[in-house]
Amino acid sequence: MRAWPHKSPEHLHKLSKRSLESAQLSLEGSFAKHDSEEMALRLREIFQHYRPAISIEFFPPKSEDGDRALASKIEELRVFNPAFCSITYGAGGSTRERTLLWARRLRHQFGLETMCHLTCVGHSQMELRRILEQLRDDGIENVMALRGDPPRGVDNWQPHPDGFSHAIELVRLARSVGEFGIGVAGFPEVHPEATSPEDDLRHLKAKVDAGADVVVTQLFYDNADYWRFVDNARRVGINVPIVPGILPFRSVAQLEKFTTVYARTFRGPARVPEHLRRRLSNLEHDAQAVAKLGIDYATEQCRELLEKGAPGIHFYCLNESDAVSEILRNLQTTWR
Ligand SMILES: Cc1cc2nc3c(=O)[nH]c(=O)nc-3n(C[C@H](O)[C@H](O)[C@H](O)COP(=O)(O)OP(=O)(O)OC[C@H]3O[C@@H](n4cnc5c(N)ncnc54)[C@H](O)[C@@H]3O)c2cc1C
C-alpha cells in the first residue's frame, strides 16, 4: 500500500513537463499515447494500492477560454498526486463530446488516471454501447455509471424509449463492453426519488452485485450521515470502498444551492448541521470569512473521515483549484 502523496518527485517532474507541453495542443488535436499507458490503473487497483485515494472531479468547460483555465487548474492540483481524476457528463448537446475529449486529455495529455462519467439520459442502449466502446478504445479504464437527472425544466425521470431506466443497466452494459473499473453513485441522505432508505440501499447493493467496484457519495456536510450510510451499506453486504464526496462551499448562497438542489432528500433539503449553521451565522456579511470557513470546515470533515478509515476523498472542485489545494495542503501535514 502506498502512502499519500504517491509519486516520486522525478516522476512528477516528468509528468509536469509533459502536460505543460501538451496543454499547448488544441483540444481537437490528436492524442498521442504517452508512457502514461504503463500506469493505467482500474478503480479496484487504485483502492487496493492508494490509501487514501484522493480523487478530483472536473466538468468539461464550454469554451476555449474555459479549457485553458481548466488546464492550468489541473496543473495546480496535480502536484498533490491525485489517485485519479474524473470528468462529469452533461445533460446533453456538445458538452457530452467535450466530456469524452476531456477524458482523453486527462488520461493521455496529463497522464492522470481517469474516470469518465456517463449517464443514461437521452441515449439509446446502442449509443451507450458505442460510447463505452469508444472509451475502451481510447484507453479510458474507469467509468462512473449513472442514471442522470431529468433535463432542466422536466420534473420526472423519463428513460429514452430504447434506453435504460436505472444505472444498474449501464453497469451491466459497461461490464459487457470492457474491463472497466466501474464507479456508482451513493446517497448518504437517501436519493430524492427513493421509495425508502431501505429500497435505496437495496438498489445500491444491486449495482455493486452487477459489477461496480466503488461507490462515490453525493456531497454531505455532516460526517455522521456518511458513517451511518457506510454502516447500513456494510450491514446489507456492500463491501466495496465507499468514497465520501466533499464540496468545500465558497459562499452561503452556494451552500444553499448545493444542499437544496443537488443533495435534497425525499424529506427536504440536505442537512446543514446545526453546528455549521451556528458558525455561519456570525459571518453573514463577511464573504471572505465564509469562504475561509468553507475550507476549514471541509478540512475538518476530511481529516475526521480519513482518521476514521474512509478509503479516500472525492473532491467536487467545480473547476477551481484554490480551495481544494488549501485543503490538501492542510491534510498533507497529517497524511505524509
Ligand atoms: C459522485 C456523483 C457523480 C455524479 N455525476 C454526474 C454526472 O456526471 N452527470 C449527471 O448528469 N449526473 C451526475 N450525478 C447525479 C446522478 O446522475 C443523479 O443523482 C441521479 O438522480 C441518480 O443517479 P444514480 O446513478 O444514482 O441512479 P440509480 O442508481 O438508477 O438510482 C436512481 C433512483 O432510482 C432508484 N432505483 C435504482 N434502481 C432501481 C430499480 N431497479 N428499480 C426501482 N428503483 C430503482 C434509486 O433508489 C434512486 O432513487 C452524480 C452523482 C454523484 C453522487
- Cβ–Cβ under 8 Å, residues 132 and 143: yes
**SS3 at position 298:** helix
Query: Residues 197-205: contacts with CB within 8 Å, 24+ apart?
Result: 197/232, 201/232, 201/233, 201/236, 201/238, 202/236, 203/166, 203/168, 204/233, 204/238, 205/233, 205/236, 205/237, 205/238
Minimum mean pLDDT range among 12-21, 35-44, 106-115: 12-21
Length of the chain: 336
Q: pTM for the whole thing?
A: 0.91
Which helix H or strand E contains 323, and what residues bound it? helix 322-335
Quick check: 249 pLDDT over 60?
yes
- Give, using CA atoms, the residue closest to atom 16 of ligand 1: 148
User: Domain 33-335 carries which CATH code?
Assistant: 3.20.20.220
Which atom of ligand 1 lies nearest, measured to the CA of 216?
Answer: 1
In this prediction, residues 235-242 reach a mean pLDDT of 98
Which atom of ligand 1 lies nearest, measured to the CA of 118?
Answer: 8
Quick check: 102 pLDDT over 50?
yes
pLDDT of residue 263: 52
- Ligand 1 lined by 123 (C-beta under 6 Å): no
Mutation probe of ligand 1 site: the residue of 158, 166, 243 with most atoms within 8 A of C-beta:
166
Identify the band that residue 34 occupies on the pLDDT scale cut at 50, 70 and 90. Answer: very low
> What's the CA gap between 89 and 94, in Å, rounded?
11
198 has catalytic annotation: no
Which atom of ligand 1 lies nearest, measured to the CA of 148?
Answer: 17
Quote the ligand 1 centre to 284 CA distance (angstroms).
34
Which atom of ligand 1 lies nearest, measured to the CA of 262?
Answer: 19
- Ligand 1 lined by 81 (C-beta under 6 Å): no
Mutation probe of ligand 1 site: the residue of 96, 191, 198, 314 with most atoms within 8 A of C-beta:
191
First-to-final CA distance of the chain? 14
How are beta strands 181-186 and 53-58 bridged, if at all?
Answer: unpaired
Identify the band that residue 169 occupies on the pLDDT scale cut at 50, 70 and 90. Answer: very high
> Tens digits of per-residue pLDDT, 72-95?
999 999 999 999 999 999 877 778
> Exactly one of 37, 45, 57, 76 is catalytic; which is it?
57
